[in-house]
Amino acid sequence: MNDKKSPEQISLEKDYEEYVKKITPAHNLFLQMLKAFLVGGIICSLGQFLLNFAKNSLGMDKDMAGSFCSLVLVLISVLLTGFNLYAPIVKFGGAGALVPITGFANSVASPAVEYKKEGQVFGIGCKIFTIAGPVILYGIFTSWALGLIYWILKVLGVF
């Protein structure tokens, strides 16, 4: 079989490579990191403000203030997702908006918003766990595996 390419094939491949280079967005790594740092910093600063507010103004202890802070951040994230305002934040801030607890809340709420047209049960009820389900599953499995290792080491007298 002849493996030589015809001039037309070579021309098409070159045209395709040029097309791909043309439409592929160029990324500035430093600018992306700066945006992620800025957005993540704002989210974390908001969290610290909420934590200090709960401790100092509301008189909560450390654990209760932490729970309050997490709850409010999740609530804000879900509301922003519901009003389709979190997606532009993620587009601008990238990992800075996806890594904190707000990003996880967004990933849980987004499928529910997207599939609401399919109904309450099959849309929202099933699709809400598209992202959260694997995270919860692997979190529980990892906790179980580490607990088993800890128990074996304790039985062997290591701890």
Is the per-residue pLDDT at 131 higher than 90? no
pLDDT score, position 60: 96
pLDDT score, position 107: 80
Is the per-residue pLDDT at 112 higher than 80? no
pLDDT score, position 148: 96
The answer on 146 and 114 residing in a single domain is: no
> How big is the chain by its Cα radius of gyration, in Å?
24
C-alpha to C-alpha distances, 9 to 4, 6, 19, 72, nearest whole angstrom: 10, 5, 15, 58
Is the per-residue pLDDT at 110 higher than 70? yes
Mean pLDDT, all residues of the chain:
87
The answer on 137 and 111 residing in a single domain is: no
Is the per-residue pLDDT at 9 higher than 80? yes
The answer on 138 and 78 residing in a single domain is: no
Element (H, E) at 105: helix 101-114
Cα angle at 29 between 24 and 30, to 5 degrees? 145
The answer on 104 and 51 residing in a single domain is: yes
Residue 4 within any structural domain of the chain: no
Give the residue-averaged pLDDT of 74-95.
92
- Whole domain around residue 69: which residue ranges? 30-127
**Alpha-carbon distance 128 to 104, whole Å?**
12
The answer on 95 and 122 residing in a single domain is: yes
pLDDT score, position 120: 67
Give the residue-averaged pLDDT of 89-106.
88
User: First vs last Cα of the chain: how many Å apart?
Assistant: 68
**Alpha-carbon distance 121 to 116, whole Å?**
9
The answer on 136 and 80 residing in a single domain is: no
| Residue % of the chain over a pLDDT of 90 | 48
Give the residue-averaged pLDDT of 103-117.
76
